[in-house]
Structure 1
Amino acid sequence: MLRGISKARIGVRDQERAKRFWVETMGCDVVQDETYGDERWLEVRLPDGVVLILERAAGPAPAASPGQPNTPVFLSCDDVDATWRELAGRGVAFAQEPVDMPFGRWALLEDTEGNRFPLLAGQAAP
């Protein structure tokens, strides 16, 4: 039976810079960081256990309309406003500050690689 998502791939231009962002700024743990040939397999774990694979991308992050995500990954938190204040204080960029939407309150977080992630309250599995 399905239990949920365990891993999601995120395209990044600079794996080392992305690793610093997700570990030092966002507080994730490194799961695996291995090289094989000319490639590097890099995984970080979010607090809920979901693993992001920071995969080297050939070009820039996919384009998105202003105020829209360009990744299929939505991040979860307990309180959007408090998390936004905390992360913005750490230097994390936001393409959209917290705002009420028909589906709930959200903010749009941007990583160092140009990926935009919606930040929503209460969406993670227990």
Structure 2
Amino acid sequence: MGFEVRLEGPLLRMRFFDALTHADLAGLAEEMLACEARLPVTPSRLSSLTEVTHVEVGFSEMLAFVERRRAVGPRQPIRSALVVTEAVQFGIARMFQTLNDHPLVTVCIFHDEAAALAWLGEAAAVVRNAGAGP
């Protein structure tokens, strides 16, 4: 498989490498759903596409992935940061962003992991402070 998934504290990290295939998207959807089912809240996510060398998926495969994820939505609002460095990586990230119209998911594309982590950290701070009261 051309991806790995790991939970780091409140963040679900995904790293894609080599070719991005339909099998990768299908496997990722199942792995994410299994991981999320074990957690009390749905984690925000950081997806790094910076090691993807070529893309073997198109619109129909990406739509199937998004629809599979949409069928089991997050428990609360989450953010999804996609990190890219190449034009083809940006193209696939933009397709995902456009198709992902779930009202509880905000997707943003970054060219720098530090900026992505800062954006995700802002969301985590809001969630932590929501229960703090006035």
TM-score after normalising by structure 2: 0.30
More helix as a share of residues: 2
TM-score after normalising by structure 1: 0.31
Choose between structure 1 and 2 for higher RCO, CA contacts under 8 A separated by at least 6 residues. 1
